[in-house]
Amino acid sequence: MNSNFEPLFYDSIAFISAAMVVVNIGRVKSRGLSAILLAVAFLFFGASVYVLSRYGTIPIVYVGGTIVFLCLVGDFIYRASKLPPANPKGKRK
């Protein structure tokens, strides 16, 4: 990537992440915990990208990435728990 546009690229990613935090906070009433987990994941993703672009400290990015991963796994588990049970032996109703 051209080093002249690299800060703009990182800032764009951070801005999109901030916008997704706002969108997911707006969805809390309809989606509940799933929206909160996704908002936290986007918040830490955007913060990690921002820290990487400004300071370049990798350990902080590792912590942010771990929190993002845990939030996404938590969202997956939450959504999987809300699914209706599968029909046994392929029987249709």
Each domain of the chain, given as residue ranges in start order, spans 6-83
**How many other CB atoms are there within 10 angstroms of residue 79's CB atom?**
13
- Which stretches of the chain are DSSP H helices? 6-26, 28-31, 33-54, 58-82
Please give the residue that has the higher pLDDT: either 86 or 40.
Answer: 40
Q: How confident is the model at residue 2 (pLDDT cuts 50, 70, 90)?
A: low
According to DSSP, residue 2 is labeled: -
Q: How confident is the model at residue 76 (pLDDT cuts 50, 70, 90)?
A: very high
What is the per-residue pLDDT for 92? 64
Backbone phi and psi for residue 57, each to the nearest 5 degrees, phi listed first: -85, 110
**How many other CB atoms are there within 10 angstroms of residue 16's CB atom?**
14
What is the per-residue pLDDT for 6? 81
Contacts of 2 (CB under 8 A, 6+ apart): none
Q: How confident is the model at residue 3 (pLDDT cuts 50, 70, 90)?
A: confident
User: Which residues in 33-54 are b (16+ Cβ under 10 Å) and which e?
Assistant: ebbbbbbbbbbbbbbbbbbbbe
